[in-house]
Chain A
Amino acid sequence: GQNIDQPTEMTATEGAIVQINCTYQTSGFNGLFWYQQHAGEAPTFLSYNVLDGLEEKGRFSSFLSRSKGYSYLLLKELQMKDSASYLCAVRDSSGGSYIPTFGRGTSLIVHP
C-alpha cells in the first residue's frame, strides 16, 4: 500500500503564497490528486498529476516529481475562503487497483 505524508497544519497570511507538500511511497504509481475539503463538507477536486512537472490552474498549481515521490500544491494570492483541509491522494496500480488512497490532509489556516 501507499505511505502518504503531509504536514498536519499550516498557517499563512491573506494575499500570501503557501506551498503544501506531500510525499508518498508506492510500487506502482498511477497518478496523484489534490482535493480541498472545508470543515464538514465533501472533498472537491483541485488537480491531477501523473507526469513530472507543474500543472497550473488559476491561483492553484500542483507539482509532481515521480523519482522523488513528491508533490506540492501551491496556492497564490491567498483568500480567507482558502482556509480548509488539503488532501493528497495517490493511486497505486501495482495490485491492479485504481483506487486513490488519501493522506491525512493538511489543515490550512489563512489569517488577515
Chain B
Amino acid sequence: EPEVTQTPSHQVTQMGQEVILRCVPISNHLYFYWYRQILGQKVEFLVSFYNNEISEKSEIFDDQFSVERPDGSNFTLKIRSTKLEDSAMYFCASRGLSTGGWSPLHFGNGTRLTVT
C-alpha cells in the first residue's frame, strides 16, 4: 500500500536555527497537510496546500513557517528561526480526490523535532 514518507525521523537543532522537514506524499494525492503534536497533547493543524498554494493555515502557522512543493514529489515545511516551543512531532499528511464528498488523511510517521 502506498504511504507518506517523512525525513528525517528525528531532528535536533539549536534555538534560532532554520530547519526543513521533508515529506513525500502519496503519488496520486492532490491535497497536502502539515500537523504537529506536542508531546502528550493533541494533533494540531498547521497548514494545507493544494494546487501549488496554501489553501488554509492555522494561527500557529505564523511568518516563521513556510511550505513548498519544490518538485512533483516533495513537500517541505521550513521553520525559519526555531524556538523551544517548536519542539514537537510534525506529521505530513496527504489525501486524494474525494469520492462521495470525503477522503481520509494519510499520515506519515512524523519527524520528531527537538529544539535545544
* Contact of B43 with A102 in the complex, beta carbons under 8 Å: yes
Interface size class of B (residues with CB under 8 A): 20 to 34
Q: Which residues of B pack against A, CB within 8 Å? A: 4, 33, 35, 41-45, 48, 56, 91, 101-102, 104-110
* Complex Cα–Cα for A28 and B71 (A): 36
* Complex Cα–Cα for A104 and B109 (A): 19
Chain A interface mostly helix, strand, loop or mixed?
Answer: strand
For A71-112 the 0/1 string (1 means CB < 8 A from B) is: 000000000000000010100000001011111110000000
Task: From the candidates B48, B56, B108, name the one contacting A42 in the complex (CB within 8 A).
Answer: B108
Q: How far is the CB of B12 from chain A (nearest CB, A)?
A: 16
* Contact of B104 with A102 in the complex, beta carbons under 8 Å: no
The segment from A15-23, A44-52, A53-61, A62-70 found at the interface with B is A44-52
Name the B residues within 8 Å of A100 (CB-CB).
45, 105
Name the A residues within 8 Å of B105 (CB-CB).
33, 43, 45, 100
